[in-house]
């Protein structure tokens, strides 16, 4: 999979060189390219923002650098279909595990990181005439820009790509893969600072362990995320 990220803070994406994502890149499973939007700003101060028409607080990202940056992405692979464009914004669709699975099936993703009050709306309109565009949110709080959201989304997607995670089973037994939160986990020692691992996990009784884990999942989900349980 190829992933392009356009941002005014390329250094923000440095963590994509680490850990499983970094290894996937070294192995050629993932081709991540980070681009500085200011390469496409041509005035002396390499300006990318301006005040909003109609007034209001903050600054808006001007369309011209974005238009050029997106044209350059498309032109970089003239024989390929254009990328699917993701625009992280608190006003986007909620990002979910289902969306991560959907994105993991794409050959090419591009991310447009907004800062300030956002990107001139015409950029999304222009892009949508050329490629699929999805506005995506990490839910209901405000970040300063899209970069941290890109880190989260790329990690959630990349770990689903074949070969990125060694143990494919660990992909299945996960919170949000089947609608319930994950069960609690324990390792050695069996007793630690007066706290004991639940007896059932030491029993060797696989049926009892599976039943206990399932009950824990339901209980946790009811307590922490009742919205995930089916209405009764």
Q: By the criterion CB under 6 A, which residues form the site for ligand 6GU?
A: 88-90, 92, 136-139, 141-143, 145-146, 149
Say if strands 60-61 and 84-94 run parallel, antiparallel, or are unpaired.
Answer: unpaired
Nearer to ligand 6GU, 89 or 221 (CB): 89
Residue of 100, 103, 93, 91 lying closest to 143 (CA atoms) = 91
Name, in order, each residue with C-beta under 8 angstroms of 67's C-beta and a sequence gap of 6 or more: 123, 126
User: 13 vs 149, which CB is nearer to ligand 6GU?
Assistant: 149
Task: Compute the least distance from the CB of residue 21 to ligand 6GU, in Å.
Answer: 18
Enclosing H/E stretch for 99: helix 97-104
CA 101 to chain centre: 11
Minimum CB–partner distance for residue 16 and ligand 6GU (Å): 16
Alpha carbon 198 to chain centroid, angstroms: 35
Is the CB of 97 or the CB of 137 nearer to ligand 6GU? 137
To the nearest whole angstrom, how small is the minimum distance from the Cβ of residue 127 to ligand 6GU?
17
Which residue, 110 or 180, has its beta carbon nearer to ligand 6GU?
A: 110
In the complex, what is the shortest distance from the CB of residue 212 to ligand 6GU, in angstroms, rounded to a whole number? Answer: 35
Report the residue number, 30 or 136, with the smaller CB distance to ligand 6GU: 136
User: Could you tell me the smallest distance in angstroms from the CB atom of residue 227 to ligand 6GU?
Assistant: 17
- Residue owning tokens 């024989």: 79
Q: Three-state secondary structure along 133-189?
A: EEEEECCCCCCCCCHHHHHHHHHHHHCCCCCCCCCCHHHHCCCCCCCCCCCCCCCCC
């Amino acid at each position: 999979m190829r992933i392009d990220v356009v941002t005014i803070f390329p250094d923000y994406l440095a963590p994509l060189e680490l850990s499983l994502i970094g290894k996937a890149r070294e192995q050629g499973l993932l081709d991540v390219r980070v681009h500085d939007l200011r390469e496409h700003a041509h005035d002396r101060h390499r300006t990318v923002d301006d005040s909003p028409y109609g007034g209001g607080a903050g600054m808006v990202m001007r369309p011209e650098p974005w238009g050029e940056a997106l044209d350059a992405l498309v032109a970089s692979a003239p024989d390929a279909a254009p990328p699917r464009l993701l625009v992280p914004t608190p006003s986007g669709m909620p990002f979910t595990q289902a969306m991560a699975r959907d994105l993991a099936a794409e050959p090419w993703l591009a991310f447009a990181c907004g800062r300030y009050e956002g990107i001139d709306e015409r950029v999304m309109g222009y892009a949508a005439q050329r490629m699929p565009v999805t506005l995506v949110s990490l839910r209901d709080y405000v970040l300063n820009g899209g970069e941290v959201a890109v880190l989260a989304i790329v990690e959630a997607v990349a770990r689903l790509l074949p070969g990125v995670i060694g143990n494919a089973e660990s992909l299945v037994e996960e919170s949000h893969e089947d609608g319930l939160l994950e069960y609690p986990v324990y390792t050695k020692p069996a007793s630690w600072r007066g706290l004991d691992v639940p007896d059932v996990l030491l029993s060797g009784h696989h049926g009892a362990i599976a039943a206990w884990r399932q009950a824990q999942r339901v209980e946790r989900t009811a307590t922490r995320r009742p919205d995930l349980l089916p209405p009764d």
